[in-house]
Structure 1
Amino acid sequence: MSASETTPEHTGSAGWRDDTEPRLALTAEENHVVTARWEAARAAQKQLDALVRSLLDALAGSHGAVWEGKQYRLKGLRAFRREAAAELHEGVPLEKVVAKVNDLNRYTLTFDPAHYTEGVRQTYALLHARGQVIVVGSERNSWEDPVYKGFHATWQQPDGQVRFEIQFHTPESFRAKSENHLLYDLYRSRHTRRSLAGERNATKAHEQAAQAVQSGRYGRTPAKESY
């Protein structure tokens, strides 16, 4: 569980509200629907864990596959509530919010650079052989992005009831991503926002500095072609 998951929040018959950003709130009905969607993802975790372990059994020896970030394979309920509340605040319908979420169950596989492209291809082949279906439009190749490098895609079972995301990294890009995530959490923290309050252009300057640090960390990671 990340540090952000321990931040105080209010739940109850009136719904849910985030203490750090009061505008992020859910009515009782919204909170019920969002929580039910998260509970369904949690119920699917054991089955998906077994699927990913079967991929590792097939790919670890031949392609150096490693399952990273196991503690984050189920997105936290508070994080999902925050995301849902933010989208609802922007006018996105509740049914669309819960229907389009792809990363409540998310997994990260790393491959050595020499085996990366073939490792991704073999993962696709194994998932297809196990009856999983790629979600059209979900693939994202961001190896040329200076701030975030990697490749990820969303899969689902044939009935469409269970969706899960797989991120593909090299050990170096995963390490940089992990370091950058800590920087992002720091930026979002209440302490940082308070320290920047009232300073003209401070927030923009901080964003630019964060992007420079993120890009610098990825500078040592060679871009990989898509699968």
Structure 2
Amino acid sequence: MTLHRTALRAVSSAALITAFGLVPAHAATAAPAGDRQSPAGVSAGLVPGAHGDASGKSFKGGPGDGGWHGDGLDLNAADNKKVDAFLLHARRAERSISPQVKAAAAISHAQVIGFDHRLKSADSLKRKVATAMKETPGRTVDQTLAGISDSVRYTLQWPDGRYTSGVALASSVLAGRGDDSVKWSNTWSRPKGYKGVNSSWKEPRSGHVFEVQFHTPESKRAQEDTHKLYEEQRLPTTSPERKKELQAQQDAIFAAVPVPAGAPELTAPASRRHPAHSARPAA
């Protein structure tokens, strides 16, 4: 019997109804907010792309052009308008998504980290979109936005001893609510780089994709400790030699993170609505 089947059976119908309808906002503890990282770049063996703007710079459109400009990146007025519309949709979708994630956290006894930063900032998203379009000439803003999964994002955390069962239960609760698992990246078994589980889900009512990261205190701390290193690494002005140095430093930090028993075997739960579309672990 798989972890997810065991976890899902452990949740009674009455508990689910209570959690999804009546769980108070304080049921899941919000720890001091910190910037979190998305799964972008994991398949390449890098630390996932960071949420938010670590540089502290303010980005503004040029005088009267309706666009967005910053760090040598640009969005024209039409593309900038589409990103703004996407952000509006994210804010509206979050109202339905957050209660579901809080319910999953409450049932699985998870700590919610950085809940106040669940919405990606406009500058951070625009920088991410502009970077993707610059790195892939010919890529449209619509294509880029279709691949964004972290405009609404959450981090759930458990101690090492409860991590594996907690992830299995929380993800089964989300699937049981009707959220489709569209991406599951489990990097606990990798010898180098980022450690954790990054998942993406599609909320059924809005159709909006959101991200949930599953961490231990140690893996979350390593993520935060490598944030500035990754931010420097991904800048287009960083030399190849320096990028290698930065990656080596990140690898060393993540190598010290203990791997919870059973964590490398965690897989995405089958979708309760569309079983044929269940996500598989990232290669």
How high is the TM-score relative to the length of structure 1? 0.81
Distance 2:180 2:235 in 1: 38
The 3 A distance-change label for structure 1 pair 173 and 48 is same
Bigger helix share? 1
Tell me if 1:16 matches 2:78. Answer: no
- The one-letter code sitting in structure 2 at the alignment partner of 1:128 is A
Q: Percent identity?
A: 29
Find the aligned partners of 2:86 and 2:108 in 1 and give their Cα distance: 31
Match of residue 140, structure 1, among 156, 171, 185: 185
Distance 1:145 1:39 in 2: 39
Mapped contact 1:106–1:164 kept (Cα < 8 A): yes
Gapped regions of structure 2 (runs ≥ 5): 1-51, 267-283
Partner of 1:200: none
Match of 2:256 in 1: 220
Q: How does 1:106-121 map to 2 (within 5 A)?
A: 106-121=153-168
Q: Give the C-alpha shift of residue 142 in structure 1.
A: 1.3
> What does 1:1-227 correspond to in 2, within 5 Å?
2-4=53-55, 6-11=57-62, 13-21=64-72, 24-60=73-109, 65-89=110-134, 90=136, 91-135=138-182, 138-143=183-188, 144-159=190-205, 161-186=207-232, 203-223=239-259, 224-227=263-266
Q: Which moved more, 1:83-92 or 1:116-125?
A: 83-92
| Structure 1 residues 153 and 12, CA gap change in structure 2 (3 angstroms) | farther
- Whether contact under 8 Å (2:155, 2:212) holds in the other structure is yes
Question: SS where residue 169 of structure 2 aligns?
Answer: helix
**Which 10-residue stretch deviates more, 155-164 or 125-134?**
155-164
Count residues with an aligned counterpart: 209
CA distance in structure 2 between the aligned counterparts of 1:78 and 1:171, rounded to whole angstroms: 28
RCO higher in structure (CA 8 A, sep ≥6): 2
- Output one character per residue of 1:15-44: Cα deviation in whole Å (capped at 9) or x when no partner: 3232321xx211211111111101211222
TM-score, with length taken from structure 2: 0.66
Task: Find the aligned partners of 2:241 and 2:192 in 1 and give their Cα distance.
Answer: 18
* Cα shift at 1:71: 3.8
3-state SS in 1 of match to 2:265: coil
